[in-house]
Homo-oligomer: A and B are copies of this chain.
């Protein structure tokens, strides 16, 4: 039975379908095609561009900006930092996807530089990425902390509080927190781990939800519930990753607001 969070998720999805919000991604080469398709399938309008010369015009027409550091280089880092600052200036929300933060110094540093340049509305990553950008360092507890739900909530809340942003940690279950309130989202399917860019897809879906909903905690949790449901529906029709991803795209298009309302599983932590 739909709880209040599920009803709100359905309402946000309805607004996306009505308004087709523009989501501007500065993202990695690997997922540009697949995340553009994710946004179109669900009813949003993707833009992908990185030239500094057109950044201000594009940020101004975007409902949300997604910055994903998956394939970095110096010129792109410059564009990302500039985009983050323009978001702050124009009041456009932005999502940070710190792909591989913790794995290399360049990625950890770039994530932290972006956060310093302008506060993201939501940071979406896996547990090790999120811990690596913690101002506290996060190394004492390490990734393993996230294996236990209570410890995961504590660790993510600490990051969210110190950065004053919403943090969305995706994994077997997803956790969204603003430091005070924490929500657990159940959904998805193990086949997601056999397709590239599913984390990046989660981030752009969060972007589309943020484009039409100001409450970043609710928007992020709703987005992950929607994506999780798409994964479940796809897995019911596929047993291998090629077909699975095709069905994920189909499901992002076919899932109605009513279906999301009756199926979203968002609970307080």
A72 and B49 in contact, given A103-B57, A242-B249 (Cβ under 8 angstroms): yes
A34: chain B residues at CB < 8 Å are 33
A48 and B75 in contact, given A41-B194, A54-B104, A245-B242 (Cβ under 8 angstroms): no
A40 to B241 CA separation, bound complex (whole angstroms): 9
A28: chain B residues at CB < 8 Å are 48
Closest B residue by C-beta to A253: B240
Number of A positions contacting B (CB below 8 A): 53
In the complex, how many angstroms separate the beta carbon of A23 from the nearest chain B beta carbon? 12
A34 to B195 CA separation, bound complex (whole angstroms): 10
Instruction: Give the dominant DSSP class at A's interface.
Output: helix
A70: chain B residues at CB < 8 Å are 48
Among A33-71, those with CB < 8 Å from B are: 33-34, 36-37, 40-41, 46-51, 53-54, 57-58, 61, 70-71
Q: Check: A8 CB closer than 8 A to any chain B CB.
A: no
A31 to B253 CA separation, bound complex (whole angstroms): 20
A73 touching B51 by the CB < 8 A rule?
yes
Among A204-226, those with CB < 8 Å from B are: none
Q: Check: A106 CB closer than 8 A to any chain B CB.
A: yes
Q: Check: A88 CB closer than 8 A to any chain B CB.
A: no
A104: chain B residues at CB < 8 Å are 49, 53-54, 57-58
Closest B residue by C-beta to A79: B73
In the complex, how many angstroms separate the beta carbon of A144 from the nearest chain B beta carbon? 18
B254 touching A246 by the CB < 8 A rule?
no
A107 and B54 in contact, given A36-B196, A246-B246, A250-B241 (Cβ under 8 angstroms): yes
19 A/B residue pairs, CB under 8 Å, sorted by A: A33-B197, A36-B197, A37-B241, A41-B240, A47-B100, A53-B105, A54-B104, A54-B107, A57-B104, A58-B103, A194-B253, A239-B250, A240-B250, A240-B253, A241-B249, A242-B250, A242-B253, A243-B246, A243-B247
